[in-house]
Structure 1
């Protein structure tokens, strides 16, 4: 009888302690990974339009205001991808809370030399790499992978297998389809890339449209699912 009473008192004390314990708030609002396609279908000029378009979008006044409005800031990382084993870091995890931080992220991306140019499009492997990279992200409220490309997967497993095998719980994947007009890439991205809450696909009508498209995409990602649903 006494032993039962002691156990009940211990349970009550533990329950009270859990109720009084402070809840640790996330360190930032958003952990955002940029994944840029550098497969063989992309020539040197197109590569620069993609890389420099992303760097320029980060310096856009509206994008900067959206980043700075995020509670705790935003953590960015970036990598290039092409074949099964051809992924290369452009930017390690970098927490940004001010304009100097945004400028630094933009400069790091703009100054990165192309890593690969002769491999196919292994988009499933690219997504798997992003999921593993996300495990090292700061503790943020939302986690998003932003993947861009100008082709459909033609090597290795596809997006569905990546989502099934690599632990994408709590990760949103948005896509930017670089499709000049025949709809093949856009249709592939719409059907197979979106994953998680509020996921969406943005469309660039060729590489010349990439900077404008990634700016639109960034604003939607920064404002979150509520903005996507309202549009």
Structure 2
């Protein structure tokens, strides 16, 4: 249950931080585009996977979050869900989806619940997850005022590019990186994410 609440908080904090505004709505832009990058490396068991899924789905079914989306400058966001493990293993679980109404949010949540785990083994490449997220943000068909990566991890980067170099590349491009630390094995992981992974305007770490 703790993960479910924290996943809701991770997404909700992004939305409340970035969405409230007074501009007229427009169908041509999103308030924010969000990549949710879910850890599916070998150390994440089936129960942990299901809890991540449940938390994300609950967030996009939450009336307060859906209200925040509707009250944004443009009244809509773009969101996609990925799962990752090694640098070579990056899977899109739910493709880019526009959320502009409660029904859109419920539909996205339903797709999240049905998402099948496809990355079943391998190391922990947070840097690979961020590189993949960057590419997805660059190719989102509807541009956004802000871009966010919410990365969930249960371990340190141990595969792929140097994490600090990738983090800095995203920050330079104006992308905010937030983190959720699953601390079942590494009880100081939130410090690692805070010091070496997250960055950009309004970035933060939550822990489970």
Same structural fold, with TM-score higher than 0.5 when normalized by the shorter chain: yes
Distance 2:63 2:107 in 1: 15
Deviations 1:98-156 (A, max 9, x none): 11110111111110100111111011111111111110122111111110111111112
88, 91, 112: which one pairs with 1:88?
A: 91
Alpha-carbon offset, residue 182 of structure 1: 5.4
- 8 Å contact 1:26–1:141 — kept in the other structure? no
Matched residue SS, 1:135: helix
Distance 2:135 2:172 in 1: 9
Q: Structure 1 runs of 4+ off > 6 angstroms?
A: none
Distance 1:178 1:35 in 2: 13
Structure showing greater radius of gyration is 1
Alignment of 1:140-151 (within 5 A): 140-151=144-155
Residue in 1 that maps onto 2:175: 171
Q: Kindly indicate whether residue 192 of structure 2 is the aligned counterpart of residue 188 of structure 1.
A: yes
Alpha-carbon offset, residue 67 of structure 1: 1.9
What TM-score do the two structures reach when normalised by structure 2? Answer: 0.81
Alpha-carbon offset, residue 180 of structure 1: 3.9
Q: Kindly indicate whether residue 7 of structure 2 is the aligned counterpart of residue 33 of structure 1.
A: no
| RMSD of aligned residue pairs (Cα, Å) | 2.0
Q: Kindly indicate whether residue 136 of structure 2 is the aligned counterpart of residue 133 of structure 1.
A: yes
Distance 1:135 1:167 in 2: 14
Deviations 1:68-114 (A, max 9, x none): 22232111111001011111001211111111110111111110100
Residue in 1 that maps onto 2:71: 69
Residue in 2 that maps onto 1:214: none
Matched residue SS, 1:186: helix
Deviations 1:34-58 (A, max 9, x none): 0000000011111101112111121
Residue in 1 that maps onto 2:59: 57
Alignment of 1:146-225 (within 5 A): 146-165=150-169, 168-180=172-184, 183-204=187-208
Distance 2:88 2:47 in 1: 24
Larger helix proportion, structure 1 or 2? 1
Residue in 2 that maps onto 1:42: 44
Change (3 A) 1:164 1:194: closer
What TM-score do the two structures reach when normalised by structure 1? Answer: 0.73
Q: What stretches of structure 2 of length at least 5 have no aligned partner? A: 1-25
Q: What stretches of structure 1 of length at least 5 have no aligned partner? A: 1-23, 205-231
Alpha-carbon offset, residue 168 of structure 1: 4.8
Change (3 A) 1:124 1:148: same
